[in-house]
Structure 1
Amino acid sequence: MIINQSIITDIKNIIVQSKDKAIRAVDHQRTLMYWHIGKRIFEEEQEGKERADYGKFLIKYLSEQLQPEFGSGFSVRQINLYRQFYRTFPIVHTLYAQLSWSQYKLLCSVDSKSKRDFYSAEAIKNNWTVRQLERQIYSNLYERLLVSNDKEDVLSVAKNEKLPSDAKEIIKDPVYLEFLGLKRETAYYEKDLENAIITHLQEFLLELGNGFSFVARQKRIHIEGDDFFIDLVLYNRLLQSFVIVEIKTHKLTHQDIGQLQMYVNYYDRIEKLPRENPTVGILLCANKNDAMVKFTLAEGQRQIIASQYKLYLPTEEQLLEEVNKELKSFEEK
């Protein structure tokens, strides 16, 4: 008797999906438990707020009573975290079942509601792991997008309340590529960088922005007897357009911009379908001169973007200083 082997695959998928749903359901109930514990502690603190150090004494007392029976999840540090969790997310119906308790712990460290809303929406939309969420928070994704956009646009795109009308609403500058694992103090050819990106393609597409998928590398185009090779061709489903990426390990020149403009024009005239939006070109460069980019391109154009790449994440202090400097510069324009 011949049995259709697809039944094995289907049943395995059912088992795996059911287990994943069960794990998420249990984690969400745990998250709700911690929220209610935090709420109860806060309410009790309010009753005794006229007594000095009552809150500190209460949490220490609760830990002594609960930890022997329920384990290390009720240490003083953890109980303080539950209280902070409630204070950070004071409305229970705003908690997302798609986010894990570990992700909520990270979000509690984010210092403004706008940023928490942004990272929550992005984590859900992109199905980020805890590690991916941590990386995006640490690399100040929110501030990097704010450099070229306003707060309302950044939040509305993240929450799927609007589709991006400009590539700059989703493409980051600078782009951090520390996941490539390239050694410090070493010179790299463009081919080396491209190969490393292909090896870590998933991380690269996530870092570049939302909605990217891979189409081709070293795409050959033939123009009147001459052959040219495009480093990377991507497609973005949010922008509904092809995205051409050229990698430059040297300081950006106006010739680089002209070359990318030619590739963008080719895709617009040869490859793009009538229902698709104009092709976007990204110059991923080690160094760039914003003024040179501005005067090389037509005023008001939205198709060519120069984004600087950095191979290593700076320290938190350096990153915040750099982002704040960029934001101040943007506000003064």
Structure 2
Amino acid sequence: MSELVEGYGGLLAEIKQRVRSAQYEALKAVNKELIALYWDIGKLIVTRLEVERWGKAVVRNLAQDLQNEFPGMSGFSAANLWRMRLFYETYVNHEKLAPMVREIGWTHNLVILEKCKDDLEREFYLRMTRKFGWTKNVLIHQIENQSYEKTLLNQTNFSETIPEEIQEQAKLAVKDEYTFNFLELGEEHSERQLEQAILSRIDPFLREMGGMFAFVGSQYRLEVGDQEFFIDILLFHRRLKCLVAVDLKIGKFIPEYVGKMQFYLAILDDLVRMEGENPSIGIILCKSKDKTIVEYALKDATKPIGVATYRMFSSLPQELKDQLPAPEQVAKLLEGLE
């Protein structure tokens, strides 16, 4: 019958989308109520234990009585009640983070609460989870791969080459190191093998790149005069609204790579960039780099370029954690995650 009624397919598709949208909004509302409930329980436990000086046995008894009263409702174990207490204590005096915790799931909150060391790191993962809709497993993967540190330590010249209104967002779009543990490559491989491996696993590659990239093409052809040039991988960043050229290198970074990338970006901006898009960005992805050499190589570059490394496993040296920006700089940078 549906085939005989003109426009039925469109009507069905519209209603399906409306139902899904309503389901999503309902889930968000339920989640906010659940987080608010756990917040209030945590607050009550803190008050009774500290003000009334009740012992720990009270929480154990409370858990048992709540489970008996609400047998079909999970979450009232003694361990979870203690987590509610910690949850409340962690965020009660933090005006910026307290509203954010209501916008992600309880299990996500627990991961961030238990695995992150300070408020700035928690803010980073709260914002990223909310912005990209990370699942619990993706969130754990990002924390274990030290996305926070790798994002803050990135090397770019964006402060000098990108419009001020999108500088912070652009800095957050490039990591210092990418972990491609989804690639089945040996320690020794060619640039072509690296590219082919990435193309065969394009979805996890784009997720590792940050979640806001769309794939445009590989070996993207540029024609200048009577010569052809090819960009290894061309992406588009949806939030920054700009093309992103990725140059793959299997060895150590050398300064000459910057000149080549500037050449690619000049052509992209003149011949490929569409009206309304921001200037193109380049990412030089190497096996290793000397941070001082990168700093000098980017110093006088006029096109926006970032230099990063890639690994098949997470390997951020412990000593680099001491090189993170000052807290006030980190706080300013995180504003770009809105």
**Coarse TM-score class (shorter-chain normalised):** 0.7 to 0.9
Greater RCO (CA < 8 Å, at least 6 residues apart): 2
Q: How has the CA–CA distance of structure 1 residues 96 and 63 changed in structure 2, closer, same or farther, with 3 Å as cutoff?
A: closer
| Distance in 2 between residues matched to 1:228 and 1:7, nearest whole Å | 47
With 205-214 and 24-33 compared, the bigger mean Cα shift is at 205-214
**Given residue 318 of structure 2, which amino acid in structure 1 is its aligned partner?**
E
CA shift in 2, pair 1:23/1:191, >3 Å: same
Q: 1:7 aligns with which of 8, 11, 23?
A: 11
Q: Which residue of 2 aligns with 1:201?
A: 202
Distance 2:214 2:100 in 1: 30
Aligned CA distance change for structure 1 residues 132 and 284 (closer, same or farther; 3 Å):
same
Q: State percent identity of aligned pairs.
A: 28
Alignment of 1:279-294 (within 5 A): 279-294=280-295
1:177 matched to 2:186: no
Alignment TM-score, normalising by the size of structure 1 = 0.80
Q: Determine if contact 1:164/1:239 at 8 Å carries over to the other structure.
A: no
Alpha-carbon displacement from aligned partner over 1:49-88 (angstroms, at most 9, x marks no partner)? 3xxxx44222222223333443562222111111111112
2:32 is aligned, of 25, 28, 35, to 28
Among 66, 78, 81, the residue aligned to 1:79 = 81
- Write the deviation string for residues 77-118 of structure 1: whole angstroms up to 9, x where unpaired: 111111111112227962554311121112222232222222
Write the distance in 2 (CA, Å) between the matches of 1:104 and 1:32.
Answer: 13
Task: Confirm or deny that 1:324 pairs with 2:329.
Answer: no
What letter matches 2:126 in structure 1? S
Return 5+ residue gaps in structure 1 as ranges. 154-161
What is the CA-CA distance between 1:39 and the residue it aligns to?
0.9
The change in CA–CA distance for 1:225 and 1:132 in structure 2 (over 3 A counts) is same
The amino acid that maps onto 1:103 is: H
- C-alpha contact (below 8 Å) 2:152/2:175 kept by paired residues: no
1:260–1:95 distance in 2 versus 1, CA, 3 Å: closer
Query: Could you tell me how far apart the structure 2 residues matched to 1:165 and 1:86 are?
Result: 30
8 Å CA contact 1:144, 1:323 repeated in 2? no
- Separation in 2 of the partners of 1:321 and 1:33? 39
CA distance in 2, matches of 1:325, 1:31: 34
Q: Which residue of 2 aligns with 1:106?
A: 111
2:11 partner letter:
I
In structure 2, the residue matched to 1:138 is 144
User: 1-side partners of 2:317 and 2:251: how far apart?
Assistant: 26
Instruction: Indicate the residue corresponding to 2:70 in structure 1.
Output: 70
| Offset, 1:285 | 0.9
Tell me, in whole angstroms, the C-alpha distance in 2 between the residues paired with 1:176 and 1:121. 21
Q: Taking structure 1 as reference, are residues 298 and 268 closer, same or farther at Cα in structure 2, changes over 3 Å only?
A: farther
How far apart in 2 are the matches of 1:310 and 1:327? 20
Q: What's the CA shift for 1:302?
A: 5.5
Q: Deviations over 1:190-230 (max 9, x none)?
A: 22322332343343333324643222211112233322211
Aligned equivalents of 2:33, 2:255: Cα separation in 1: 56
Q: Which residue of 1 aligns with 2:329?
A: none
RMSD, matched Cα? 3.0
Flag structure 2 segments of 5+ consecutive residues without an equivalent.
160-164, 327-338
Q: Does the 8 Å contact 1:166/1:302 carry over to 2?
A: no
How many equivalent residue pairs?
Answer: 308
Shift in Å at residue 44 of structure 1? 0.3
Q: d(CA) in 2 for partners of 1:273 and 1:20? A: 34
1:88 pairs with one of 87, 90, 94 = 90
SS at 2:214 equivalent:
strand
Distance 1:55 1:147, change over 3 A: farther
Match of 2:49 in 1: 45
Q: Please state whether the residue corresponding to 2:174 is helix, strand or coil.
A: coil
The alignment partner of 2:223 has SS state of strand
